[in-house]
Every structure is written in structure tokens, then in C-alpha cells.
Amino acid sequence: MSINYEKLQALSDLCTPWCLHTVGTLRIADYISEGISHIDDLAKASGSDAYTLQNVMRHLVNKGVFEETEPSRFALNEVSRGLLEPGFRPDLTGIFGRMAYAWGTLPTYVKTGASGYHEQFGLPFWEDLAANPDVGKSFDDLMGIAGHGVPDPHFPITGDWDAVQTVVDVGGGTGAMLAEILRTRPHIHGTLVDLPGTASRSAEVFQDAGVSDRVTVAGQSFFDPLPAGADIYLLKKVLGNWPDKEKKEILRRCAEAAHPSSRIVIMGGVTPDEEKHQLSIEMVLVGGKPIALSEFRDMAREVGLEITSTQQHGGFLVECQPV
């Protein structure tokens, strides 16, 4: 049996991703785009050691990321131009830094099934974000357009949207999705539920959408009792961020708050039974995982909910109602 050592070495190489994160953090691509090309000038602009930075740059040139147009002068190519995009740039500050370093806790997650994030940063993920507002804000920014995609308020529900008067967006971040729901349906009032630091950053989002007069902001944990009696409780990309025990508690809070004809709409975190799950950064950060539909059905029943519909709409959408 032959062994492809070259491929194995390439796959296990940690040098390249750390070089990318380093030049991303130092904004090297930005300086090059501004006309700075010589290594001495790049080092001065980025506050770096010229010899070390040049070694990093030459490693990335060999990997096809930059070009060395003449000795010690570097240029962007079609790969490194991607480093100019704020939503993509590898960065060791803010949430991107947390994600990069969190991979070092993967052995704990694999051995225990629980996140080892606290081993690296001293606190569990959500507590760390609350204790470090700058990191929390960078996470909120990521989970806006970059993290969730363009908000789509036209997701299907059973029945008629015209009959919906109230929507609670549970764990809705800074409100991008709820703002679009209200903007496209002037008869609906909404409530945003998220932790106080995140919820406090929603005012501008709602103001820009022109819906501030139809929104209530609840700065709280969704493990606490939720605003009661809404027609729809929306969980968009929430359940997959939590282990099963916490998933059940979130669903229980929705069931407790719902009236008999309320609907709980889950977008993300529940998958068709045949879908194969793969490792993701969310699993490493918080120990969360998606749940197969058959398992979710049992979990929902335990808290008094029944699945009423499932469908594909840019992802797998599940709707429940109180039993």
C-alpha cells in the first residue's frame, strides 16, 4: 500500500494558515494596495521586523498567495486580493482571533464532546463575549450579513402572514432579520431578544429600516422567560450553537411563552435525518451541534411542541406548535 506523504504533510501544515492570519492582522495586503511594496516599507508600516516579515511573505508567495515581482518587493495576485475584504481577512484580533486560537482546544472537544474554549480564554464562549465588548461587537458584525447572509423575511410559514401580528426573534443578534420582517409587513410588531450588550446595538438597525416604532428590545438571556403570547417565535441559527441540554431549555422557554396557535420557526440547527454532519467552528467554540429531525421531534415533544411542517428554504426550516 502506497502512502501519499506529500499530501499528508500539506494537510497537516500549520505554517501557512498562521502566516495568513499574521499578514491579515498586520493588514499587509492593504498596504500593498496603497502602493507600499518593498519589505522595509511594509515592515515599517505594519510595525514588524523586516527579516521575519519577508520570510512569512516568501512562504506565502510559494503557496501562491502573493507575488515577489523583484527581490524584496511584493504584489497582490488574485488570491491575496481577497485579503482586502473585511469579512474574509484572516485576523488574530476580535472574534477571528478567538476562532483561530480556539482550534487548539479541539482535542478537548473530541475527547469530551464539550467545548474546551474556557481552557484557552478563561471563560466559556458566551461569557467571554459579554466580558469583552470589543470581541462581542466583532462577533455581532460577523453574525450580521457575513454570518447569516442577506436577511430573507419571506420564509414560508403555514397559514397566512396577514394573520400574524407579533414576532419574537429569539437570539436575533442586532436585529437585521427582524428589521426586514417588519419593514416588509407594516402590520406586524416585533420583539428582539438577545443579551444586553448585543441588543443595545440594534437601535441603528431598526432606525435605518424605519421600524423603530414597532419594535420592543428585550436585553436578556433566552434561557430566561420569553415575552409571552407572540404569534411567531423565530430561532434563526440559534439551536445549532448549543448542546442538546441547552437546546431543550430554549425550546421549553418558547413553548412556555407561546399561546395555543403560536408557531415556533426554526431556521438552522435541525437537519434532515439523511444529512451527514461535519465538524464546524461552532462546535469547537460552544460545543453545539446540529440535530437530526427524528431526534428533534422527540426533544420537541418533551417540552410540549409538535412539528407541523418542514421544508427547504435556503436551508432546512422546521415549524412547531404547542401540543
Q: DSSP letters of 104-171?
A: GGHHHHHHHSS--HHHHHSS-HHHHHHH-HHHHHHHHHIIIIIHH-S--TT---SS-GGG--EEEEET
Which residues constitute the domain of residue 51? 5-84
Residue 280 belongs to domain with CATH number: 3.40.50.150
189 and 258 in a single domain? The answer is yes
The torsion of the CA quartet 58, 30, 98, 94, rounded to 10 degrees, works out to: 160
Write the pLDDT tens digit of every residue in 54-100.
999 999 999 999 999 999 999 999 999 999 987 678 889 989 999 99
Q: Does residue 147 have a pLDDT over 50?
A: no
85-99, 164-178, 198-212, 294-308: range with lowest mean pLDDT: 85-99
Residue 63 belongs to domain with CATH number: 1.10.10.10
11 and 59 in a single domain? The answer is yes
Write the pLDDT tens digit of every residue in 149-188.
567 888 889 888 999 999 999 999 889 999 999 999 999 9
2-11, 23-32, 215-224, 238-247: range with lowest mean pLDDT: 2-11
240 and 200 in a single domain? The answer is yes
122 and 230 in a single domain? The answer is no
In the chain, % of residues over pLDDT 70: 98
13-27, 86-100, 163-177, 222-236: range with lowest mean pLDDT: 86-100
Residue 280 near residue 266, CB atoms below 8 Å: no
Query: Does residue 89 sit within a domain?
Result: no
Cβ neighbours of 114 (radius 10 Å): 13
Query: Does residue 143 sit within a domain?
Result: no
Query: Does residue 171 sit within a domain?
Result: yes
Query: Does residue 282 sit within a domain?
Result: yes
> For the residues 253-272, what does the mean pLDDT come to?
96
Write the pLDDT tens digit of every residue in 123-136.
999 899 989 989 98
Q: Say which residue, 140 or 24, is predicted with more confidence.
A: 24
> For the residues 229-245, what does the mean pLDDT come to?
93
Query: Does residue 208 sit within a domain?
Result: yes
> For the residues 134-155, what does the mean pLDDT come to?
74
Q: Does residue 146 have a pLDDT over 80?
A: no
298 and 207 in a single domain? The answer is yes
Residue 289 near residue 277, CB atoms below 8 Å: yes
Cell of 282: 461552532
pLDDT band at 314 (very low <50, low <70, confident <90, very high): confident
Distances in whole angstroms, Cα of residue 225 to Cα of each of 21, 254, 306: 41, 8, 20
297 and 184 in a single domain? The answer is yes
Query: Does residue 65 sit within a domain?
Result: yes
| Total tally of structural domains belonging to the chain | 3
Residue 290 near residue 277, CB atoms below 8 Å: yes
Q: Does residue 225 have a pLDDT over 70?
A: yes
Query: Does residue 152 sit within a domain?
Result: yes
Which DSSP category does 241 fall into? G
290 and 270 in a single domain? The answer is yes
175 and 307 in a single domain? The answer is yes
- For the question of whether the overall pTM of this predicted structure is more than 0.75, the answer is yes
- Among 50, 66, 84, give the residue marking a domain's end: 84
183 and 120 in a single domain? The answer is no
26 and 166 in a single domain? The answer is no
Query: Does residue 41 sit within a domain?
Result: yes
Q: Which long-range contacts (CB under 8 A, 24 or more apart) does 39-48 make?
A: 39/72, 39/73, 39/74, 40/72, 42/74
156 and 237 in a single domain? The answer is yes
219 and 302 in a single domain? The answer is yes
pLDDT band at 144 (very low <50, low <70, confident <90, very high): low
| Mean of per-residue pLDDT scores for the chain | 93
